[in-house]
A and B are shown apart, each in its own frame.
Chain A
Amino acid sequence: MSSRLQAILVPVISVLLGLIAGAIVMLVSGFNPIEGYGALLRGAFGDTFYIGETIRQITPYIFAGLAVAFAFRTGLFNIGVEGQLLVGWIASVWVGLAFDLPKFIHLPMAVLAGAAAGAIWGFVPGFLKARLRVHEVIVTIMMNYIALHLVNYLVRYVISDEQNTTVAVPPSASLKSPFLENLTDFSTLHNGIFLALAAAIIFWVVLEKTTTGFELRSVGFNQHASEYAGMNVNRNIVLSMVISGAFAGLGGAMEGLGTFGYGFIHGAFSGVGFDGIAVALLGGNVAIGVILAAALFGTLKVGALNMPIESGVPTELVEIVIALIIFFVASSYIIRYLLNRYKKGAK
């Protein structure tokens, strides 16, 4: 079996196993899995509205997945996507509200502000890792909390007048698209999806086609050899976290300028950043894989909302099914092992 085929088979089988395990859980709990999954599919693709919602949900997942994957490729584990996303969100909204400019300047500026904020949030753990060898997992987790509470403070006392939400960003900085909304019967679908797909292409080009990507990948695989080859390992670690953070920050800008169009006080993490880890893992840390995995997660997430109402499967069970899929993806080495066993047995 070629490794390329295996790279595709493993995640597909993971997902199938997760779905089967989910079906068993539904059966045991006394629900009809066919109805359950049917409701899920209708809830994700049932009509244009749901398709719009699903695509809208895929957008931040693509960014979060790209962010995690980018760091992964350089051998770094960015758990801070959640926080980077939040600061990107609020930065883009802030710029959206603070200026009054024509759209062709204002919107790019707001989007880039999101990227910059995420990049700064990624820079800190990258710098600490490069300089002081502080493990990036610890720093990024801490940075998540700093981001959450800082963003809440900014929303309440700086950007709004002690309100729980900011005012909506003006159309000149908004990603909202009346055209797409009309097309999808008033879903919250916005132009961000195009940026997400563009980001995936940028991800691929940077990593695979540039000298910078060559260095980043090389450092990711083998720091010693990279140092031997004259690459600046520390610089690449920082750069990787900065770019990873920028992707996450862009994901936040999509929420701030698109899905919601405003910032608000978060009682807890949105979870998109953490799901991004699973998206990257399932997508094999490559651009196209991340898009496909994000599509799956978006589908599950939006479709799941329809399961309780249509088939009576409680939301908690839906969460379990999604968790099972992630479990099987994470333990894909089991599947790889079984595939190899099967391969041997066949010969």
Chain B
Amino acid sequence: MEYVIEMLNIRKEFPGIVANDNITLQLKKGEIHALLGENGAGKSTLMNVLFGLYQPEKGEIKVKGKSVKITNPNIANDLGIGMVHQHFMLVDPFTVTENIILGMEPKKGLTVNMKKAEKDVKEISDRYGLRVDPSAKIADISVGMQQRVEILKTLYRGAEILIFDEPTAVLTPQEIKELTQIFRTLISEGKSIVLITHKLKEIIEVCDRVTVIRKGVGIDTLDVQGTTPNDLASLMVGREVLFKTEKTAADPKEPVLEIEKLHVKDSRGITAVKDLDLTVRAGEIVGIAGVDGNGQSELIEAITGLKKVTSGSIKLNGKELSQLKPRKITESGVGHIPQDRHKHGLVLDFPIGDNMVLQTYYQSPYSKGSILNNKEINKQAKKLIAEFDVRTPSEFTEARALSGGNQQKAIIGREVDRDPDLLIAAQPTRGLDVGAIEFIHQRLIDQRDKGKAVLLISFELDEVINVSDKIAVIYEGRIVAIVDPKETTEQELGLLMAGSKRKGAGEEANV
């Protein structure tokens, strides 16, 4: 079998660390090859080497058997290598076509030949079953569609080999299903795919072979057929991994959070949470299941004081929260792992140490009078770094420099350590690997077992079913059903989340 890409014994160093050490990755024509590893294992580095963003210190890259030097992304492009990044690089006010042709516009005299461009885009879109509207504006289309625009961008530039960096992290279950279908079409058209992921289920479902790397070292390359998620997980993490989170039955006590008749408007002034009732008791985890955009964000922001409550009441241990400032709410015992860790969770330009006291810097012992006590702050940071296994060179490292998983662990460490009566966890494991997911789930359950209330919001049904003691399904700003996770199925939840018993309606809601 012919290899289209061979990366042989690649070594890439950064000051202080070896990101890739002697890694070999060989991609066969027409296969979907998974690159599996924990966060920070060196997957992205390896692919950036292939894409010409980094130069390796050692090793050789061959494309179709010929040794090449890829010193910048343009060369990668010319060699037929395309990359679909996790964070899309699209210009929002531009149309799909404009985004795709950006940088290589077909010319007609001095002007851009938009007609031809749109025709070309439509043609490629149809060939690979992407079903993208070439004249739609990026700002108006869903995240799933935006990803397809990224795929189209690489195809338009003649890519033969497509690299996907965590493509499913941002997608709904429905969109993931459709993406899988797109993969298959691409392969049938003769393309080859490298899929960077840490989601084992995806690998088993779509991939042909998988290369596992751990802490910068290539561990093994194996055929997916005949492996189990457990095998892959232990290869990746380097130890046995428990998939079903072990937990005892919940022992719910008095209500901690009581929400009644809550109405909240979103940023455009449209009512996003309508007449919502919800109770979370001490010693239980309530999971909120729902398709993104059904009022989850507004609900959390209302509880934490980031958004004004239009009407209704939110009580914590019987005390009204709805008119309080965020600081007072935090002080009265609410912890919050925010959905967007870069936007809300961390000050990326602050050192990890400062981030660890983001809500408590003004309290003793982190400050006295109004003078910060950096010694205490860093002591606390060190403690949390150790306790929550945050992998960072030191507590003085900027949060920006950490991998997503470690950033998330830092946030969780900070929130859990304050020991809040109510812990709100929004998408706490988004984009994380199994090792980290397991760790985080265990922490949530620990909080529950300590008699605290936990509110979990997630778009991953697995997670909701696994971790929650009770599932509340949200649809169009209302809790439409409360179900017992032990008695429900993904199918049933999916239907409830779609707000209808008919299956088709749910898909429409996604677009």
Contact = CB atoms under 8 A, between A and B. Distances in A.
A touches B in complex, CB < 8 A: yes
B452 to A, nearest CB: 20
Interface in B334-356: 336, 338, 343-350, 354
A226 B347 contact: yes
B15 interface: yes
Interface residues of B, number: 32
B372 A230 contact: no
B57 interface: yes
B1 interface: no
Interface stretch (A24-32, A132-140, A209-217): A209-217
Contacts of A347: 55, 57
A230 B415 CA distance: 14
A217 B350 contact: yes
Nearest to B57: A347
A222 B347 contact: yes
A298 to B, nearest CB: 30
Contact of B345 (A210, A217, A225): A225
Contacts of A228: 304, 306, 326, 336, 338, 344-345, 358
A227 interface: yes
B370 A212 contact: yes
Interface string B308-349: 000000000000000001111111000010100001111111
A266 interface: no
Nearest to B355: A225
Interface in A88-122: none
Interface in B487-510: none
A86 to B, nearest CB: 31
A211 B348 contact: no
B15 A344 contact: no
B474 to A, nearest CB: 22
A224 B343 contact: yes
A214 B55 CA distance: 38
B486 to A, nearest CB: 34
Contacts of B359: 229-230
B361 A211 contact: yes
Contact of B358 (A212, A213, A225): A225
A221 B350 contact: yes
B189 to A, nearest CB: 36
Interface in A281-333: none
A210 B344 contact: no
B221 interface: no
B197 to A, nearest CB: 28
A269 to B, nearest CB: 33
A221 B372 contact: no
Contact of B354 (A2, A212, A214, A231): A214
Main secondary structure of the interface of A (DSSP, over half): helix
Interface in B357-376: 358-359, 361-362, 367, 370-372, 374
A231 B305 CA distance: 12
Given A2-B15, A225-B358, A230-B330, A209 B350 contact: no
Contacts of A224: 343-344
B347 A218 contact: yes
Contacts of B349: 221-222
Contacts of A221: 347-350
A209 B367 CA distance: 9
B371 A218 contact: no
A272 B293 CA distance: 51
Nearest to A230: B327
B2 to A, nearest CB: 32
Contacts of A214: 354, 361-362, 372
B352 to A, nearest CB: 14
Contacts of B304: 228
A313 B161 CA distance: 61
A211 B350 contact: no
A56 B49 CA distance: 54
A265 to B, nearest CB: 42
A231 B358 CA distance: 9
Closest 4 CB pairs of A and B: A230-B327, A229-B358, A228-B344, A230-B326
Given A209-B374, A222-B349, 18 more contacts: A211-B372, A217-B350, A218-B358, A221-B347, A222-B343, A225-B343, A225-B344, A228-B304, A228-B306, A228-B338, A228-B344, A228-B358, A229-B326, A229-B330, A230-B330, A230-B359, A347-B55, A347-B57
